[in-house]
Structure 1
Amino acid sequence: MILSALALSLSWPSSAPANSNPECITNSTQGPPPTFIDSTTCGLYYVLHNARFEEVNAVETEVKIAYGVWLPTGVPKALVVLFAGGTGKTGLTGDATTHVMTDTNNNFLVRSAQLFAEGGYAAVVISRPSTLDTDDAAI
């Protein structure tokens, strides 16, 4: 169901390709410390609201899933779905209304999402569900 919703969002006519800039595709040669690729400003931020609720600390809580989208300038060759390993933390934050992404974490796949878009692929990074708020909650 989640992937179906993401596919619908990607094909929606109002989705515009994210802007590319050198920060999103190039490691810095300056340092120390070196600056790694940071695809945050080139991605679009979305939140999938689910009809499912879970009890968190005795409170019924809506399960939400944040995801980021990086689009190529033309028609995508394919969709690449990127999952962060371990606990699934992606650090994706932003404004779900304007789709401006404001932060991501230092995960290799999350940082490199724009490289997939530069290669002609639509890249989607899916964060873990909002109800998994502890570091030991592996997905």
Structure 2
Amino acid sequence: MSRQPGADVGVSSFGYLHGGPPPAHLTLDLRDHFRDPHVRPELRELTAHDATVRRAVLDTAGIGELIDAAVAAALAFRSGPGHSELLRLTAGCAGGRHRAPTFAMALADRLTASGLAVQVRHRDLHRPVVQR
């Protein structure tokens, strides 16, 4: 993720089934600890652009606390001596359509509310559902 003028933090989402994580200062792997909306047939074809998916992800136990921790980590990184460099945070899940992009959007909203300029990228959100 290249730095856009004025951006402090780059937040990206991705799916491990589509390749390794993008380069980042902090990568959060959401696969093993948070239930995948993909297992619910009514959510499988939807994405993080759909409110029902976002609600399912954000209502998962522990997600709110992880967002809080990621915000705290980002603010700690930004207070360090290398704060002029774009801070890159990534979140990954299996396919990159549900958990990771929802998490990335919520994280970006919180970081923006804390006064940081944030750019968001979803590497795999547009990809078809992975058949498993």
Provide TM-score, normalisation by structure 2: 0.28
* Structure with the larger strand share: 1
Provide TM-score, normalisation by structure 1: 0.27
* Higher-RCO chain (CA-CA 8 Å, sequence separation at least 6): 2
Q: Which one has the largest radius of gyration?
A: 1
